[in-house]
Structure 1
Amino acid sequence: MLVQTLEMLRRVDGEMSVMRTEMVQMRIHFDQEMGQMRTHFDRGMGQMRAQLLQLERVQCSPHIDHSSVHIDDGDEQHLGGDQIYPSHHDGDDEACTSVLQEDDVVRVDKRPMRDRKKSQFCKTPFTDPIRSKKRNVDVAVEGSDAVPQVGDDDLNPPEGYTEFIASKENIFRDTGYLEYLSPADFRCIDDMSEWLDGRHIDSYMCCLRRIQSRPLYNDNYAIMSTPLFSYISTFWTQEYDGDNGKVFDPSTAIVPTEWTCFVDGSNEGNLPWWTVDNVLLPCNYKNQHWFLIKISLKNKILFLYDSSAKSEDSRRIRVAAVTPLAKLLPIILKSSGYYKHVSATTTSDREWDVEGTDPHKVPQQVDSASCGCFVIKYIEDILRHNEGSWQIDPNPDVYTLRRQIGIFLYRHSKFVVD
């Protein structure tokens, strides 16, 4: 009975992963359609504004007797915005010369009307219906330069942090990830008895990708989010660990085409794998434990960083959990066109090697709920060239780790009102 229940739970988990993949693809398709609609709308608005500005220009032009002023086409090509044109008269009409003062010249402002007079038609009335109302009261998400250059490990809460996490209102922080973080999500980070879930880690990865170009961080890594490992584990269970008895054959095995977006960076905004030497992949084992995989693309090795690797059984379970990735990774790279950008001599289909965690070299957790915090700190230390001398304390203060994570997410996100 227990075996049947576990099998049923695995199938449900696989179906949920498939549904989540479909939702992500639907969101991407919807964003593309909305982008095309906005482009056509803005183009139409631009044409309408041009016509309105032309009407304004006619109505607001100086009252000058144009029949008495002749502009030479040759001279017009050499004159700037505030242009002066000589006046030419066909007769001896003294009335015309009395109207044109300053040595018979007329000053004509040839700048567009939008530069001379602000028009109410210059601002588009379009409002994106899929975006929540936002207030620019905090730092912007777009661009690393928009984020204050303060220490990412600074424990001093930024302005508004305490009030935000204590709020019961329907407000959020936008980190750039698909889902916003609510005050309850930040309170979960501060609670030492709570686990970090995929939204916390994926939001953190989005923030790290935005600031990876800073000198403090190493840009030779592709920073991935959590879904990839879940997709691979579910796919392996359904294809090769199920009741169908299917045997894995690397020469004939295929993987879903949707996975190529993880390698080329088109889905998550990560660096394409062929531009880096390593990939950092946070992994969740059966909704029970977080650990990290560093994929060495040149050496074909999967390095495991596990904060709960003190027992031999734990290390053996983690190695077994990444076996599907070690077998499918060459196929994923080949189907995504990775080998078209690197040396053709590295297209071996052999299974990649897996190097387990040495608990004496990798910092270990002292509780049962901080594995997600350690994964985040592993990634930060690796990006900061600290892998050889970890900055995580051997006996870490879990509260300090969680506090740093919450403040980092708040500092590198923006305020959103639903």
Structure 2
Amino acid sequence: MYHLDAAFHLMRRRLQFYPDVYPQKCVVMPTIFPESLKARWDAFPGSDYSSFSWDDSILDLVRGDAVQFLPSWQNKDFIYFALFLKDQLHWVAVEADLNGWMFNIFDSSIGSISENDLISLMVDWCTIFPSVLRQSGLFENHDVILTPQLTASESQVRPFDWKLSPREFVPQTKSSGDCGCYVIEHIEHKLLQLPFDNVIDNNMKFFRQRWCVDLFYQNLC
């Protein structure tokens, strides 16, 4: 977790101070963000989430937190975060497409989580995210939130769609222990608007060494 957050923090600083490095209009969230969302959601009593309310510690991360180099999500196209699959001890990268209202999942080891378990997991996430977006107050002009029949209550905001990117687009690992580095590279490649062709096992040692140097010297460009 800590090496992911160190890389994500450097990415956020690059986005702030040298925005031309990464052409994507996006925010890279710390690993605690999805963990905090899911913990609050799971702790809510009952199954009627129409009265669910996010606390300011969550909403302030969406609205922007200068201390963590987190800009507001307003006017951004994508939100990136790492999702930890606890039962599988496995990380995957997630791209939230705010315009397309959907998640794209990039998994270096497809099959680590069963199809049924992945569907069950994403059912929650596809409801959690629209709830956060709506309550943040930053997306009042979004087409989905503006649609009258969808805004009668929190539970009626249309859920996100989701898609697991296939093996043809996400090269698969043949070893274990590199999923965190894969997630870092998947997210940075998306920030750079590059394909994943070179995010493969044979390059993991190079990527680790490169990030060690960048983090040690805090290379911003």
> TM-score with structure 1 length normalisation?
0.46
Q: Go from structure 1 to structure 2 and tell me whether the alpha carbon gap of 1:394 and 1:373 turns closer, same or farther (over 3 Å shift).
A: closer
Cα deviations by residue, 1:172-223 (Å, 9 ceiling, x for unpaired): xxxxxxxxxxxxxxxxxxxxxxxxxx22111111111111234331240111
Decide which of 71, 79, 96 is 1:295's aligned counterpart.
96
- For 1:345, the equivalent position in structure 2 comes to 143
Aligned 8 A contact 1:232 1:325 in 2: no
Q: Does 1:372 align with 2:175?
A: no
Q: Go from structure 1 to structure 2 and tell me whether the alpha carbon gap of 1:393 and 1:284 turns closer, same or farther (over 3 Å shift).
A: closer
Aligned 8 A contact 2:37 2:58 in 1: no
SS of the counterpart of 2:20?
Answer: coil
Whole-Å separation in 2 of the counterparts to 1:368 and 1:321? 22
Aligned residue runs from structure 1 range 205-216, under 5 A? 205-212=8-15, 213-216=18-21
Query: How far off its partner does 1:404 sit?
Result: 1.8
Whole-Å separation in 2 of the counterparts to 1:222 and 1:398? 24
Equivalent residue letter for 2:84? N
SS of the counterpart of 2:68?
Answer: coil
Query: Structure 1: which 5+ runs fail to align?
Result: 1-197, 241-245, 414-418
- For 2:109, the equivalent position in structure 1 comes to 308
Aligned 8 A contact 2:104 2:163 in 1: yes
Q: What is the percent sequence identity of the aligned residues?
A: 20
Query: How far off its partner does 1:268 sit?
Result: 2.7
Aligned 8 A contact 2:182 2:199 in 1: no
Cα deviations by residue, 1:246-300 (Å, 9 ceiling, x for unpaired): 1133x32222332101211226322211121111111212271111110011111
Whole-Å separation in 1 of the counterparts to 2:40 and 2:82? 18
Aligned-residue RMSD, C-alpha: 2.2
Equivalent residue letter for 1:355? K
- For 2:7, the equivalent position in structure 1 comes to 204
Decide which of 187, 190, 198 is 1:392's aligned counterpart.
198
Whole-Å separation in 1 of the counterparts to 2:134 and 2:193? 30
Cα deviations by residue, 1:80-123 (Å, 9 ceiling, x for unpaired): xxxxxxxxxxxxxxxxxxxxxxxxxxxxxxxxxxxxxxxxxxxx
Whole-Å separation in 2 of the counterparts to 1:409 and 1:292? 20
Whole-Å separation in 1 of the counterparts to 2:116 and 2:167? 13
Whole-Å separation in 2 of the counterparts to 1:284 and 1:256? 23
| Higher mean C-alpha displacement, 225-234 vs 212-221 | 212-221
Equivalent residue letter for 1:248? D
Equivalent residue letter for 1:262? L
Q: Go from structure 1 to structure 2 and tell me whether the alpha carbon gap of 1:344 and 1:215 turns closer, same or farther (over 3 Å shift).
A: closer
- For 1:285, the equivalent position in structure 2 comes to 85
Whole-Å separation in 2 of the counterparts to 1:299 and 1:334? 15
Query: How far off its partner does 1:352 sit?
Result: 0.9
- For 2:74, the equivalent position in structure 1 comes to 274
SS of the counterpart of 1:275?
Answer: coil
Whole-Å separation in 2 of the counterparts to 1:402 and 1:394? 12
> TM-score with structure 2 length normalisation?
0.83
Q: Which is greater in Rg?
A: 1
SS of the counterpart of 1:390?
Answer: coil
Query: Structure 2: which 5+ runs fail to align?
Result: 151-156
Whole-Å separation in 2 of the counterparts to 1:225 and 1:261? 13
Decide which of 242, 247, 258 is 2:47's aligned counterpart.
247
Whole-Å separation in 2 of the counterparts to 1:356 and 1:218? 24
Q: Go from structure 1 to structure 2 and tell me whether the alpha carbon gap of 1:395 and 1:200 turns closer, same or farther (over 3 Å shift).
A: closer
- For 1:231, the equivalent position in structure 2 comes to 36
Q: Does 1:329 align with 2:129?
A: yes
- For 1:263, the equivalent position in structure 2 comes to 62
Query: How far off its partner does 1:394 sit?
Result: 4.0
Aligned residue runs from structure 1 range 117-128, under 5 A? none
Name the structure, 1 or 2, with higher relative contact order (CA <8 Å, separation 6+).
2
Q: Go from structure 1 to structure 2 and tell me whether the alpha carbon gap of 1:346 and 1:393 turns closer, same or farther (over 3 Å shift).
A: closer
Query: How far off its partner does 1:325 sit?
Result: 2.2
